[in-house]
Structure 1
Amino acid sequence: MPQPIDLNFQGQAGTIASYVLETTEGLALVDTGPASTLPALRAGLEAFGARLRDVRHILLTHIHLDHAGAAGSLSALLPQARVHVHSRGAAHLQAPERLMASAAQIYGDQMERLWGEMRPVPAAQMTVLEGDETFRLGDTEVTALYTPGHAVHHLAYHAGPDLFVGDVGGIRLTTGQSPRPPTPPPDIDLPAWAESIRLLRSVRAETLHLTHFGSYAQDQGHWDALELNMAHDAGVVMDALDAGLDVQATTEVFTGSLHRALAAEGPELPERFALACPPWMSVQGLARYWKRQAARP
């Protein structure tokens, strides 16, 4: 059974997780979190009797800072560890300067506080994947599944009864919360996401593991709710833009709608959700998507 590590992002429990798989080749981590949460990752490993040096494989669902920001720091500490990443993210992982510069335009002087340093991963330590590969980590068989929609470099990993779905499985912070799509720029592609959901629905697994946050039954209800919320969120942004609202006004409409829905499911959820995926980022991603659609012949 995978062990979850709560990375306590910005001091808030239950927003970003890393998952630990025990194999006969040592430990495998699914997503690392940002470099700012490395102390929590180390403490989480120690809490169940492991050490950072026991990690031999790092499986990245995608290269966004909240999922892969610590990968370079870990590869420097663990020169024998393999970092598994999709081919469309590998170059940015090897040379993260452009990724960090893009993030700095959004977060400004909050970069260090939120994310810490993203160090490069040496190419020699990478295992570059396309999706649809099956490989072994000692006694554990893992299948990488290409699952774009949230990001063009997104992978899910299937290992026996467990399915690690990164962000394409949505954000679900409690059992009672309906899963919701994180839609930051620049790669949101709703038809591709729907196809990824179709693929993941068909995987014979028992448990979904979400980076944001926790483990839930692999059932059709999860995916049904995610698709409904995706259609709703996309519709709110499209309607606001069609009505002539600018992005700031659209964000106010979207945030109000989202917070009301979340508060009905749990009074603490709007604040926690904002750490996992700020509403303004979801609006920017969906606005970019709709503008691209409008520009097509």
Structure 2
Amino acid sequence: MAPHLLDLHFQGTPGVIAAYAVPLHSGGVALIDPGPSSTLTTLERGLGTLSFTLEDVRAVLLTHIHLDHAGVAGTLAERGADVYVHERGAAHLARPDRLLASARTIYAEHMDALWGDMRPVPRERLHAVQDGSTVTLGSDAFHATYAPGHAVHHVAWQHGDDLFVGDVAGVRLDARQTPRAPTPPPDIDLDAWAASVARLRALPARTLHLTHYGSYPATDAHWDNLLRTMHADAARVREGLERQLGADALTAEFTRAVEADLAQEGDDLAARFRYACPAWMSVQGLTRYWTRKANA
């Protein structure tokens, strides 16, 4: 059956974080990237429009374990859902304390309001997948393709002609906007990301479903534009580092450049983009990337 986009209205803002619901032929529903716990009520309401409850969620398929994608997975597992995630992320879902501690150093006092609680996934509900794994739910099959670059635990899930790409296909808030790569620390690897793009664009998919935000034709233009802006943004940070800009100055310069690009595509894009892909996080991730490259 066709997937349904559920707008999670993150921080009260539409068009920032999407979860995807796939009704199963055998009954119940699968969720891809159900979002953070802070939007659980909105998720439940969205499922209700499809005549499902939280208890009808049979499977949660995660593209990766970042809180905006996976934060509510443990809560859904406690309600009976099985959770599928790449093997490099599974341990963090079983014991999310380290993940949460790391996130709290970034978000500080805003942590709870942004993301809410993150419950551990019971081990009997947690399933680690690898590149090429298939999750079979009755007559519905979901195929995993390993897609690092944004995160070392990132996969894309294919169901028929639909490819659920998490963050590896970028942030694209609507059709006007050129896709841009979200580059938070700690795992950003542009070479791995480009290789993932090559793998995913070769798959027989017709539609890309992005967490941030929406569904778009799986065209070469989407992937080409993503790579172009990814390398342009990375070059901006590298050049700032070469000029020995401090973190605040570099972030301010990067923000102005990105928001100027977005303003040319739509007056309302920059405000939503700040929620979907904060510039300071992208600068941190790219700074770490270039520093590691220099020290390799």
Q: What code does the residue aligned with 1:22 have?
A: P
Query: Could you tell me which residue of structure 2 aligns to residue 174 of structure 1?
Result: 174
| CA displacement at 1:25 relative to structure 2 | 4.6
- Partner deviation per Cα, 1:101-137 (whole Å, 9 max, x = no partner): 1111111111111000011001110111112112311
Distance in structure 1 (CA, Å) of the matches to 2:167 and 2:141: 22
Q: What code does the residue aligned with 2:51 have?
A: G
Tell me the C-alpha RMSD between the 2 structures.
0.8
Kindly indicate whether the alpha-carbon contact (under 8 Å) linking 1:184 and 1:286 is maintained by their aligned counterparts in 2: yes
Kindly indicate whether the alpha-carbon contact (under 8 Å) linking 1:178 and 1:225 is maintained by their aligned counterparts in 2: yes
Query: Could you tell me which residue of structure 1 aligns to residue 213 of structure 2?
Result: 213
Query: Could you tell me which residue of structure 1 aligns to residue 19 of structure 2?
Result: 18
What TM-score do the two structures reach when normalised by structure 2? 0.98
- Partner deviation per Cα, 1:80-113 (whole Å, 9 max, x = no partner): x210011111111011111111111111111111
Residue 67 of structure 1 pairs with residue 65 of structure 2? no
- Partner deviation per Cα, 1:147-195 (whole Å, 9 max, x = no partner): 0000000010011010000000100001010000000000000000000
Distance in structure 2 (CA, Å) of the matches to 1:243 and 1:220: 35
Kindly indicate whether the alpha-carbon contact (under 8 Å) linking 1:25 and 1:137 is maintained by their aligned counterparts in 2: no
Q: What code does the residue aligned with 2:14 have?
A: A
Q: What code does the residue aligned with 1:17 have?
A: A
Query: Could you tell me which residue of structure 2 aligns to residue 43 of structure 1?
Result: 45
Query: Could you tell me which residue of structure 2 aligns to residue 2 of structure 1?
Result: 3
Q: What code does the residue aligned with 2:61 have?
A: L
- Partner deviation per Cα, 1:30-74 (whole Å, 9 max, x = no partner): 001000000000000001222111110000000000000001111
Distance in structure 2 (CA, Å) of the matches to 1:75 and 1:159: 22
Query: What SS is found at the alignment partner of 1:19?
Result: strand
Distance in structure 1 (CA, Å) of the matches to 2:134 and 2:64: 18
Distance in structure 2 (CA, Å) of the matches to 1:43 and 1:134: 29
Distance in structure 1 (CA, Å) of the matches to 2:180 and 2:228: 9
Distance in structure 2 (CA, Å) of the matches to 1:104 and 1:279: 18
Distance in structure 1 (CA, Å) of the matches to 2:39 and 2:47: 13
Question: How is 1:136-147 mapped onto 2 (pairs within 5 angstroms)?
Answer: 136-147=136-147
Query: Could you tell me which residue of structure 1 aligns to residue 120 of structure 2?
Result: 120
Kindly indicate whether the alpha-carbon contact (under 8 Å) linking 2:57 and 2:76 is maintained by their aligned counterparts in 1: no
2:60 to 33, 58, 61: 58
Query: Could you tell me which residue of structure 2 aligns to residue 158 of structure 1?
Result: 158
Query: What SS is found at the alignment partner of 2:264?
Result: helix
Query: Could you tell me which residue of structure 2 aligns to residue 100 of structure 1?
Result: 100
- How many residues matched? 294
| CA displacement at 1:246 relative to structure 2 | 1.6
Query: Could you tell me which residue of structure 2 aligns to residue 84 of structure 1?
Result: 84
Structure 2 gaps of 5+ residues are none
Distance in structure 2 (CA, Å) of the matches to 1:69 and 1:53: 17
Q: What code does the residue aligned with 1:237 have?
A: V
| CA displacement at 1:283 relative to structure 2 | 0.2
Distance in structure 1 (CA, Å) of the matches to 2:27 and 2:156: 21
Q: What code does the residue aligned with 1:220 have?
A: D
Structure 1 gaps of 5+ residues are none
After the TM superposition, list the runs of 4 or more consecutive aligned residues in structure 1 that deviate by more than 2 angstroms: none
Residue 271 of structure 1 pairs with residue 265 of structure 2? no
What TM-score do the two structures reach when normalised by structure 1? 0.98
Kindly indicate whether the alpha-carbon contact (under 8 Å) linking 1:57 and 1:82 is maintained by their aligned counterparts in 2: yes
Kindly indicate whether the alpha-carbon contact (under 8 Å) linking 1:149 and 1:188 is maintained by their aligned counterparts in 2: yes
Q: What code does the residue aligned with 2:74 have?
A: G
Identity of aligned residues (%): 53
